[in-house]
Amino acid sequence: VAFAAELIAVGSELLRFGRRDGNGDWLQEMLGRLGIEVLGRALVDDDPRRIASQVEAAAARAGLVVLTGGLGPTEDDRTREALAAWTGRPLRRDPDLQRALHARFALYGRTPSPQQQRQADVPEGAIPLDNPVGSAPGLLVARPDVWVVALPGVPAEMRAIADTHLFPRLAARAAGGALRTRVLHVTGRMESDVDAAVADLYEGEGTVVTILAGAGEVHLALRAQGADGVAAGDRLRALEEVLRARLAENVFGADEETLASVTGAALVRAGRTLAVAESCTAGLLAAEVTAVPGSSAWFRGGLVVYADDLKVTLAGVPEALLREHGAVSEPVARALAEGARQRLGADCGLGITGIAGPGGGSAEKPVGLVFVGLATGGGTEVKRLHLPGDRELIRRRTVAIALDLLRRRLV
Ligand code: ATP
Ligand code: MG
């Protein structure tokens, strides 16, 4: 059923400027949903011999190798040559691709230069994958034991080709019938805890579950195989039901859903709105919330109140509370939540204060100590947390916990 993948990001700029391999991050996530685990990732410069030797090594270990980058028209784009070298077959100009390239340039009243025409070159035996949003097609070399796929480096082009050509072929190859997948998102329980609760379901009759941990969330990737789509769908649904029954309200969503999107949907259902006042997360919660399209329907706004005097003047935190308990305290989180709710005119207010580190901790108030307040018409509750991890992880976990506190109140 499952086969493993390796990813290769091609491009000197990824090494020289230390740019993140965002294409690889996305491919890893999407392949995971198809039940294809990524076991290795490499960065390589634009040298065709080094690209070819990376492909050679990866193809010996994995059933799928995906390269991104280096398919463009410029001199430094050498992935095509590298694939030809690896297959030992020459590059041939594909007449269909050449026609399409000319047609594309004709739209702008131009003709492709000899250099640009290289984008119509395909290693003999490779299958070109049409690029719906750009000129460089992807390439697929399908051998019985391994598929090697090259995609352009431009993220939108890479995604478009993967979505339209690569993933459907992979799903068909993996299933040999039909394959249905779903990712369940779990929060409020540690990975080891979730693992213990569902481990007996990892391998079932035609079904597989894999567990992946993120910041403040655990993902369960479900896949089910069947003779056809209906059979696979039935199996998937049955498996999902069992998992949901075991994890109950800790399962907050599936597939594209995020904590912010499901919390927003719950607010909309309840006809209520949200406002936030953030100290240590300083806008991260507001950013997460507004990443959800349509969040203006339920999100009023937020205060970033880092300095104590702004907690007083903007969020209405009584000065005496700050003096008595300090900024990182239960009463201040409570006052921030209530201040956000009242001052910003929302039905629900979230208030966050904590010590994200690495400095600023003490024996009494260590790094990772965070208070999250939730104020609604029905009263205010405050959660005291002691979070592990570095500054970024503490801030991201805090945001997840704040959203989850509200979600649980609403459902
Ligand atoms: P082009 O036709 O634009 O030359 P290409 O297939 O040759 O496409 P590259 O030249 O390698 O691709 O990269 C084009 C751009 O795509 C890069 O400048 C960079 O902005 C982006 N890019 C390349 N590789 C990655 C990657 N692994 N992750 C995220 N972005 C990338
Ligand atoms: Mg390029």
Give residue 384's identity as a one-letter amino acid code.
Answer: R
Q: What is the pLDDT of residue 1?
A: 34
Residue carrying the six token digits 């080094």: 50
Q: Atom 29 in ligand 1: which residue has the minimum CA distance?
A: 22
Geometric angle at alpha carbon 148, from 72 and 151, rounded to 5°: 25
> Quick check: 149 pLDDT over 90?
yes
Q: Mean per-residue pLDDT for 283-310?
A: 97
Q: Residues 369-393: pLDDT tens digits?
A: 999 999 999 999 999 999 998 999 9
The verdict on the CB of residue 178 being under 6 Å from ligand 1 is no
The verdict on the CB of residue 55 being under 6 Å from ligand 1 is no
Q: Which atom of ligand 1 is nearest to the CA of 25?
A: 28
Among 133, 154, 159, say which to mutate for ligand 1: greatest number of ligand atoms within 8 Å of CB: 154
Residue carrying the six token digits 């969020």: 315
> Quick check: 175 pLDDT over 70?
no
Q: Residues 81-135: pLDDT tens digits?
A: 999 999 999 999 999 999 989 988 888 899 999 999 999 999 999 999 998 888 8
**Alpha-helical segments (H) within 17-135:** 22-33, 48-61, 79-87, 95-106, 114-117
142 within 8 A of 149, measured Cβ to Cβ: no
Q: Atom 4 in ligand 1: which residue has the minimum CA distance?
A: 72
The verdict on the CB of residue 152 being under 6 Å from ligand 1 is yes
Closest ligand to Cα 116: 1
Q: Atom 31 in ligand 1: which residue has the minimum CA distance?
A: 153
- Exposed e or buried b per residue across 246-278, where buried means at least 16 C-beta atoms within 10 angstroms of its C-beta: ebeebbbbbeeebbbbbbbbbbeeeebbbbbbb
Confidence of residue 176 (pLDDT cuts 50, 70, 90): low
Q: How far is CA 294 from CA 265, 300, 410, in A?
A: 10, 12, 19
Task: Output helix, strand, coil percentages for the chain, rounded to the nearest 5.
Answer: 45, 25, 30
Instruction: Judge if the upstream peptide bond of residue 358 is cis by omega within 30 degrees of 0.
Output: yes
Geometric angle at alpha carbon 142, from 15 and 155, rounded to 5°: 35
Alpha-carbon gap, residue 297 to 295, rounded angstroms: 5
Q: What is the pLDDT of residue 226?
A: 84
Q: What is the pLDDT of residue 145?
A: 82
Closest ligand to Cα 154: 1
Q: What is the pLDDT of residue 180?
A: 82
Percent of the chain with pLDDT over 70: 99
DSSP state of 249: G
pTM value is 0.65
